Structure 1
Amino acid sequence: MKRADLHTHTTASDGLHKPSENVRMAAEAGLSAIGITDHDTVAGLNEARQAAKTYGIEVVPGVEISTAQDGQDIHILGYYADDRDRVFLARLASQRRVRDSRNELIVAKLNELGVSLSWETVLDAAGRDRGPDETVGRPHIAEAMVRIGAVGSLQEAFDRYLAEGKPAYVLPPRIAPAEAIAWIHEAGGAAVVAHPGLYGADEAVESLLRDGFADGVEAYHSDHTAEDERRYAAMAERYGVIATGGSDFHGERKGRVYHGPIGWRSAGADVVHALRERAKDRRAARLSDSPAGGGIASD
């Protein structure tokens, strides 16, 4: 059966591998499709699409948008949105500015806690000259902490400092999940609630499905238990939305794969088709709502 890993990250955000490498690994894993879903950016999609021609698999264009509701961090995956739409790109750029501010606040908190870490060290840990559309994340900060000897591993960095509820954790002002879903819909894409099992907020997740906002929920994820997967698959069926799956692959650091290897969690080809069709419906609705029937807003 054809399978697709619909959730992976690349060097365009906080992944370790280039988009073309993710595509290659997906092909080697026997997948027929791979989702490229970097945080608040679509900068990796063009490289991935070029690689897909070489390796003979499909790239599902995506993005993962950071949001918050009632103090809870919630992520929304967007699939098949128009990644050339200028309004959508400007909105993602605003998200990246929030992320940059959060990162600077984390570094400042670490300094207050006695961890002498500079922003330049974090950028060096990212391992590249960051492009204007690329992002830096907490794994890069954790890697920088390992390099200066503040912690012995990335896991220790999160357990002691960076995870939610820890001394250097920062939750900046975020847009609400419903707003991110609206952005994705307005760009002609399908919106999916990412890894709901990580939130401990099933009521909030269910409300996004029940009230007709989200098009799907990521039932199958590397950090979900078997019970989580059954619960969210049932939730998707109950509200008539799409149950998706993905590894949330970020690459291997210090011998550990975060969150799982490519293909560790996946979805069937029917799910890819359903997402594509739902995105087509969103684009059609957007066209019909346009006063001149002229297409998706682009300025």
Structure 2
Amino acid sequence: MRIDLHTHSRASDGTQTPTELVGAAVAAGLDVLALTDHDTTDGWAEAAEAAERQGLELVRGMELSTRHQDHGVHLLAYLPDPTYPPLVEELDRVLAGRRGRVPTMIARLRELGIGIDEEDVRRAAAGTAATGRPHVADALVARGVVADRTEAFDRFLGWGRPAHVDRYAAPLVDVIRHVAAAGGVTVVAHPWGRSSRRRPDEQDLAQLQEIGLAGIEVDHQDHDEPTRAELRAIARNLGLVVTGSSDHHGAGKLDHDLGVNTTAPEEYHRLLDLAAAASAASGRRTPEVVRP
């Protein structure tokens, strides 16, 4: 059983429609796929219809933008009620922050002599609810300024680069509580990837577990083997679910092919059991796993 619990479609910053993503997952030999677009559920309905039609098990989720102790933390949320008002309010604020910084990024790029405008970004972001840096990067690719998103982030848009602009991210503790109250479960995405400097650490994760955190994404392309071993040991010490996934963005992210990392079936079923318990405790109407 091959399970990939972290992927993106054009509803956020992937390059495939939800239908295309499901088809690619089937072609890659996956049995279970989670759609976890950034801060939006806009792709859920199309993905569910495609999964039913193509015989793929689908878990509906999101990747939420949060902040904890002055560090950005991405949080995977699975199977929450998407209508839960506090969660909706946070998503609206995060999406407004994503969209709101685009004009400033464009202005900074123009100061660097790069002839890009908002129409370029709108074309790159067609069909998404979560316009942001990846679409500015795509506009730069379309203009021939850079070869791909990676170069765009490395030269212009990443932290500390000349066109980087900060934005709102929801408090991590609040979001974990909101997802739990909405009947869902949470997993910290690639916790020690990129520039996280090993935060959150084991003590942080233990405290987050007390308020509802279910697991950590251990097997991810941003984690080398020693990092994975250390995170797996922490998960074992705390009894957290261990997940693995591709963080697939279609052509938008290199070396993140569907199924490049997977979640063990026993860990997947632990996660679903926790989701079922959270749903029952919340009393809310939560989405079911789409099964063939």
| TM-score (normalised: structure 1) | 0.87
User: What corresponds to 2:97 in structure 1?
Assistant: 98
**CA RMSD across the alignment:** 2.0
Distance in structure 2 (CA, Å) of the matches to 1:259 and 1:65: 22
1:142-199 deviation per Cα after TM superposition (whole angstroms, max 9, x unaligned): 1111222333433221111111221212222322211221121111111111111224
User: Are the counterparts in 2 of residues 143 and 154 from structure 1 also a CA contact under 8 Å?
Assistant: yes
User: What corresponds to 1:291 in structure 2?
Assistant: none
Is residue 2:198 matched to residue 1:202?
yes
1:120-158 deviation per Cα after TM superposition (whole angstroms, max 9, x unaligned): 1011122x244xxx2123221111112223334332211
User: Are the counterparts in 1 of residues 71 and 196 from structure 2 also a CA contact under 8 Å?
Assistant: no
User: What corresponds to 2:176 in structure 1?
Assistant: 181
User: Are the counterparts in 2 of residues 80 and 276 from structure 1 also a CA contact under 8 Å?
Assistant: no
SS at match of 1:229: helix
SS at match of 2:251: strand
SS at match of 2:37: coil
User: Are the counterparts in 1 of residues 232 and 242 from structure 2 also a CA contact under 8 Å?
Assistant: yes
User: What corresponds to 1:143 in structure 2?
Assistant: 138
1:186-224 deviation per Cα after TM superposition (whole angstroms, max 9, x unaligned): 111111111112243324243442112421100011222
Distance in structure 2 (CA, Å) of the matches to 1:210 and 1:173: 25
Sequence identity (%): 35
| TM-score (normalised: structure 2) | 0.89
Which sections of structure 2, spanning at least 5 residues, go unmatched? 287-292
User: Are the counterparts in 1 of residues 94 and 168 from structure 2 also a CA contact under 8 Å?
Assistant: no
Which sections of structure 1, spanning at least 5 residues, go unmatched? 288-294
Tell me which of 151, 160, 167 is aligned to 2:155.
Answer: 160
Distance in structure 1 (CA, Å) of the matches to 2:177 and 2:234: 21
One-letter amino acid matched to 2:59: V
User: What corresponds to 2:260 in structure 1?
Assistant: 264
One-letter amino acid matched to 1:15: G
SS at match of 1:267: coil
Distance in structure 1 (CA, Å) of the matches to 2:255 and 2:122: 22
Distance in structure 2 (CA, Å) of the matches to 1:203 and 1:85: 29
Distance in structure 1 (CA, Å) of the matches to 2:218 and 2:119: 38
1:247-277 deviation per Cα after TM superposition (whole angstroms, max 9, x unaligned): 0000115xxx435011111102222221111
Question: Could you say if the C-alpha distance between residues 70 and 259 of structure 1 is closer, same or farther in structure 2, counting changes exceeding 3 Å?
Answer: farther
Query: Cα offset for 1:231?
Result: 1.4
Distance in structure 1 (CA, Å) of the matches to 2:236 and 2:96: 37
User: Are the counterparts in 1 of residues 11 and 17 from structure 2 also a CA contact under 8 Å?
Assistant: yes
Query: Cα offset for 1:236?
Result: 0.9
Is residue 2:9 matched to residue 1:13?
no
Q: Which has the higher contact order (CA 8 A, sep 6+)?
A: 2
One-letter amino acid matched to 2:106: V
SS at match of 2:226: helix
Question: Could you say if the C-alpha distance between residues 46 and 208 of structure 1 is closer, same or farther in structure 2, counting changes exceeding 3 Å?
Answer: farther
SS at match of 1:278: helix
1:88-135 deviation per Cα after TM superposition (whole angstroms, max 9, x unaligned): 334322221111113233222222333232111011122x244xxx21
SS at match of 1:222: coil
User: What corresponds to 2:233 in structure 1?
Assistant: 234
User: Are the counterparts in 2 of residues 248 and 258 from structure 1 also a CA contact under 8 Å?
Assistant: no
User: Are the counterparts in 1 of residues 93 and 168 from structure 2 also a CA contact under 8 Å?
Assistant: no
Deviates more, 1:237-246 or 1:149-158: 149-158
The total of aligned residue pairs comes to: 282
SS at match of 2:101: helix
Is residue 2:27 matched to residue 1:31?
no
Question: Could you say if the C-alpha distance between residues 186 and 112 of structure 1 is closer, same or farther in structure 2, counting changes exceeding 3 Å?
Answer: farther
Distance in structure 2 (CA, Å) of the matches to 1:296 and 1:58: 20
Query: Cα offset for 1:44?
Result: 0.6
